[in-house]
Amino acid sequence: MKTTVILLRHAQSEGNLKRIYVGHSELPLSPLGLEQAKKCAEYIAGGGVPKPDVILSSDLLRAMQTALPTALALGLPILPDPTLREIYSGKWEGVHFDDIARLYPECFRIWREDPANSRPGEGESMRELYVRIGDAFDRIVATYPGKTVLAVTHATPIRCLHCRAAFGTVERMGDCEWFPNASFTILESEDGVLCETRGGFAGHLSGDLLFEE
């Protein structure tokens, strides 16, 4: 039985716009992000991706705000799930990227060059996130067999699941790209086999609506 999980990276937040490392901190969507969220809803409602039976979302504000237009368009509730949160970044929370590079140069270098072995801001490690989000994905598949689930989450969890689908190991995280805000990544799980059918798709965003951090 095939279960489809549509991963939607939250739209542009104020943190993305200001180049602040947000992690578990709360910042809302930017005005552009609110427009991106509407475009995502239009794309989903118009059949651009398989129609979701369920909407799950990280409980952080920027993800919930991204999910809201789709929930309204489809008449589905948003089920908040804290296991879909972004990586917790400890001392980096709320700090500008330029300041992170200056204040924590070695930690920042590892995060950029060897992400599998990184622990941003002495917070959650990439390996810990890989396990957390992998367990969350497996639970979604077990809970909604044969269904299509929209899961609104964040850049690093999506990168981890993309890595899992492509390589099956966190060790290859450095070979995985970042996907843009408000992009879709579609994973299918059938009989224990994981397949990515779309990665970081942002074709529904045009011109100024596309923001790549």
Domain count, the chain: 1
- Paired with 13 in beta bridges are 29
Using CA atoms, how far apart are residues 139 and 185, in angstroms rounded to an integer?
18
H/E element holding 32?
helix 31-45
Residue 119 sits in which domain range? 2-209
Q: Is 171 a catalytic residue?
A: no
Which residue among 24, 35, 86, 154 is the active-site one? 86
Give the pLDDT confidence score for residue 192 in this predicted structure.
85
* C-beta of residue 130 within 8 angstroms of C-beta of residue 45: no
CATH number at residue 195: 3.40.50.1240
Question: 175 exposed, middle or buried (CB, 10 Å; 0-12, 13-18, 19+)?
Answer: exposed
Give the pLDDT confidence score for residue 213 in this predicted structure.
59
Q: How does pLDDT run along the chain (213 residues), one tens digit per residue?
A: 899 999 999 999 999 999 999 989 899 999 999 999 999 999 999 999 999 999 999 999 999 999 999 999 999 999 999 999 999 999 999 999 999 999 999 999 999 999 999 999 999 999 999 999 999 999 999 999 999 999 999 999 999 999 999 999 999 999 999 999 999 999 999 988 999 999 999 999 987 787 665
- Radius of gyration of the CA atoms of the chain, in A: 16
Q: Is 10 a catalytic residue?
A: yes
Which residue among 10, 24, 154, 204 is the active-site one? 10
